[in-house]
Structure 1
């Protein structure tokens, strides 16, 4: 019966991350792997969703007010003039918004540039659309962009560049100079850009998120994708959006309707309440996550992890294994799960050395097995318990020592 599957379906298999998640569930491990909070969403947002359900907002729905407020926010944050009637598509989370954006612009054989390490779902969307991902490695430990590597990755088939900033998994916030390099490439090569800006409100140490669309000549060639999920701790509500030039936004809306038809109606109503949150909410969000980040860095550094780069945004730590650790990233995570009851994500799942373009010189990629991603979007009690378990494991087994 497997012969009945499509070639696309056959190309997707369970990742090591999924397999480790199953192991973690069997061991009842503390989940520092997946990027979802284990604490409550803001009360005023939940109350709004409950009120919408009680008011019978149960059918297909499009809440124009979300688009109106998003246009105001983008104007305030980035100085962009957005037509809320034509330039925004509301989708089922950023994931669908990104997929619909890819399906809207990518044809078979088109090449799409991504920066490595890279969030894993981008590749799948591109290949399903018939496109070819081309990876440009960011340089560790600060994950800097080398302009020469970017230029060497470009061909006559390059259609778009994908940018995730603040970035998952590294926590990097691309600098203004790096963004200008990407913008210049898009302008000169007539490329489009798809940005994933879901962590736009989660930045630290006075780093500021800058949208690529705000650079000269980029609004007309950029598709911004984002969602409620990370900012308001509602990853399961599935309300996201794409902001793009009208003809692209229209195509995204049409694809969205063919796939899912409508984002959840009551949560769209709650989204409007969320987006109207007071400025103090967003400031508190940054401070809370910055405190969690600092706690995790101190704890992990205490058991030997290396932090040459401190995350500037998002809620992930991409921690380098202790220098004298003989275990690979996957082996280390298995040890964490089985011996400490804590699960994280091996970094190899975010690297794509085997997919680097032939036009980009191959490099020493040994560091691909030297990173672990920890999510710190957890309650203080969860993080404290994880710290206690990791500390006990370190003392009892010396996991950071040669084995």
Structure 2
């Protein structure tokens, strides 16, 4: 086995999912799955137009190869989408990928060599760290002043001549908070023209009132070095279809195309047709999606704030909450106790050392199961804390 891969293990953030699935299979017990980063309720569906387009394109025989960077009509629509967000974009800057995760992998593969430094948040998204370690890059974690603001003094202090890439995600995984001080971050990065920026924005369209998403790619002074990674998974309830995109300057987009055509060739053509239809579905779809998510977010938040032991910030975006555990209760210990009571969540330490002492949960289940799971969680943790 390759030395680069031999020392890695399965991702820790999914260990709870594997354990919960094994418990269900071996004991027959039902587990309430708050750990999955997916839509758990059947009320969440892709746009009807996307489903119809997928079926129609399959019937019409769209089962051949398509251009590696994506069908032109989809790239045109995605360029319009990015321009509407404040990042002027031409179709040649769009690369269609099999999900955002591949976009992350491709970005690190294209930019990092042995010994290069990459800066990423803590807590953050574990695949960022996996690919950095696979490429034998040196990882530096940037601190937060608070859950919504990067410590910009710390960021500037850890940028060196070897720094090649800064990765940020907003709305954040795992805590559902927006990064608010993007202007400060852009000002610092503008002084370091050798550094690329990867902006992971997979929840960019799931932001709750009155908050607004602001992309680092909107800042002209760093736009030519900023790569935006996004997906149809979260905004259009298409997690299993595996389609996303990267927005990058043309010179870099051409390099993505080389990598993509020498790996997966192209995203399934019928799925690209579904994505194109989803983009054209209109704002009514997103309005309904956000209303449902807002209601479930508030339902979950209200139950958790009834705990005497937990503290939690309501999500500004995403479909995650990241409650903090009481002093002295470890996140892995808490996860194990909750599994014994039929509830699965993810330990915060799976997302980095700064996540220790919290747990991540998803609030997209049917109301009945969401309420049941959260009430069990509050009861168990309050009892463990002696509250």
TM-score, normalised via structure 1 length? 0.88
Matched with 2:28 is none
Aligned length: 374
Supply the RMSD in Å over aligned alpha carbons: 1.9
SS at match of 1:299: helix
Alpha-carbon contact 1:304-1:321 (below 8 Å) kept = no
Matched with 2:35 is 33
Cα shift readout 1:131-186 (whole Å, capped 9, x = no counterpart)? 2221012134x3432221111111110111111001100111111xx212221222
Matches within 5 A, 1:103-252: 103-140=109-146, 142-175=147-180, 178-190=181-193, 191-252=195-256
Structure 2 residue runs without a partner (length 5+): 25-30
Structure 1 residue runs without a partner (length 5+): 353-364
CA distance in 2: counterparts of 1:305 and 1:192, whole angstroms: 41
- Displacement of 1:35: 0.7
* Greater Cα offset, 61-70 or 297-306: 297-306
Matched with 1:271 is 275
Alpha-carbon contact 1:303-1:400 (below 8 Å) kept = no
Matched with 2:27 is none
- Displacement of 1:284: 2.4
- Displacement of 1:385: 3.4
CA distance in 2: counterparts of 1:41 and 1:270, whole angstroms: 13
Q: In the superposition, relative to structure 1, how do residues 100 and 399 fare at CA in structure 2: closer, same or farther (>3 Å)?
A: same
Q: In the superposition, relative to structure 1, how do residues 174 and 369 fare at CA in structure 2: closer, same or farther (>3 Å)?
A: closer
- Displacement of 1:391: 5.8
Matched with 1:83 is 90
CA distance in 2: counterparts of 1:401 and 1:124, whole angstroms: 38
- Displacement of 1:87: 0.8
Alpha-carbon contact 2:300-2:371 (below 8 Å) kept = no
Matches within 5 A, 1:301-312: 301-307=305-311, 309-312=313-316
TM-score, normalised via structure 2 length? 0.91
Matched with 1:350 is 351
Q: In the superposition, relative to structure 1, how do residues 369 and 271 fare at CA in structure 2: closer, same or farther (>3 Å)?
A: same
SS at match of 1:139: strand
Cα shift readout 1:344-383 (whole Å, capped 9, x = no counterpart)? 000011114xxxxxxxxxxxx6xx4310101113232331
Q: Does 1:293 align with 2:305?
A: no
CA distance in 2: counterparts of 1:373 and 1:304, whole angstroms: 18
Q: In the superposition, relative to structure 1, how do residues 379 and 52 fare at CA in structure 2: closer, same or farther (>3 Å)?
A: farther
Matched with 2:19 is 23
